[in-house]
Every structure is written in structure tokens, then in C-alpha cells.
Amino acid sequence: MAIQIRDATLRDLPRILEIERLSFPAPWSLASFQRELTLPFSRVIVAVSEEATGKIAREGPILGFLCRWLIADECHVLNVAVHPESRRLGIGALLINASIGEAKAERAQVVTLEVRRSNLAARQLYRKFEFEERRLRKHYYGPGEDAIIMELRFD
């Protein structure tokens, strides 16, 4: 299956919201995503499948998305999710890789993100890209749910 990465538009938000709700216990609202699309330092990218019928390639459904902020020398990944039916196909890795590539091209020094301590899948994904677990925010997501701050430095 061929996967393309492109910028999200307002028309993509219903599907992004569907993936968000299937992925998180406290999902972002539609208004949150709408706001991200208006912020100059924010970018939402989507991974879409490309479906070929004969010689004609058509865009298939959105399978995952990522939201990042690029401010000064830091790229901060705020949100990333892949539809549950499309996990373990490399789509999360494609999205992270695209953001790392962009951050390098924009001469950022570091990519940062926060992850639940219990989210072993995401922690493993970030480790694969050599993110390091830097700090712990105790009970950040509620009682007993710590956040780990991870970062990937380019220097």
C-alpha cells in the first residue's frame, strides 16, 4: 500500500477527529483542531493511502495524523495517532520521520514530545528514532499517570 503525507485541511477534520476519538481517553475537540489549522507555527499532517485503479491513482482514506509546533529552534509534537485498523504498518513511523526531516530542514535543534509512561507502543516508536527519555512529570495525566518528556537533539 502506497502512503502519502500531506498537510491537513478543514475538510479532513471529521476523519482526524474519528481517529482521535478511537485513540485517546481524553480526545481533542473539533475546535482544538480548527485552532491548530489557523496558528502560523502549527502544522497538521496526514498520512493517506493511495489507491490505484488501472493507471489512475486516487487518494484513499486518512490513516493517521500528526500535529506539531515549530517555534524558534524546537519542534514539539503535540499529537500523533494512527487508526486502530492501520497500526503496525509503519504509518506512525512515517509521520514521525516526516516531522524529524522537516525539523532538520528548518534548522531546529531539537524535537520534543510528551508521552504517557504506560504507552509502551508510542515509547517504543520514539526510541526507534533515538528520542531520549529526559524527564518525568508525575501524575501529569491524572493520578498514577506520569508523563515522560522525550527529546531528539540534532547536535
Ligand X SMILES: CC(C)(COP(=O)(O)OP(=O)(O)OC[C@H]1O[C@@H](n2cnc3c(N)ncnc32)[C@H](O)[C@@H]1OP(=O)(O)O)[C@@H](O)C(=O)NCCC(=O)NCCS
Residues near ligand X (CB under 6 A): 23, 80-82, 87-93, 115, 119-122, 124-125, 128
- 148 close to 131: Cβ distance less than 8 angstroms: no
CA distances for 120 relative to 116, 117, 123, angstroms: 8, 7, 5
- Cβ neighbours of residue 144 closer than 8 Å, sequence gap 6 or more: none
CB of 100 to ligand X, least distance (A): 13
Buried b (16+ CB within 10 A) or exposed e, 37-47: beeeebbbbbb
CB of 77 to ligand X, least distance (A): 8
Report the residue number, 91 or 100, with the smaller CB distance to ligand X: 91
Nearest residue to the partner ligand X, using Cβ: 92
Report the residue number, 37 or 116, with the smaller CB distance to ligand X: 116
Report the residue number, 55 or 60, with the smaller CB distance to ligand X: 60
SS3 state of residue 140: coil
CB of 124 to ligand X, least distance (A): 4
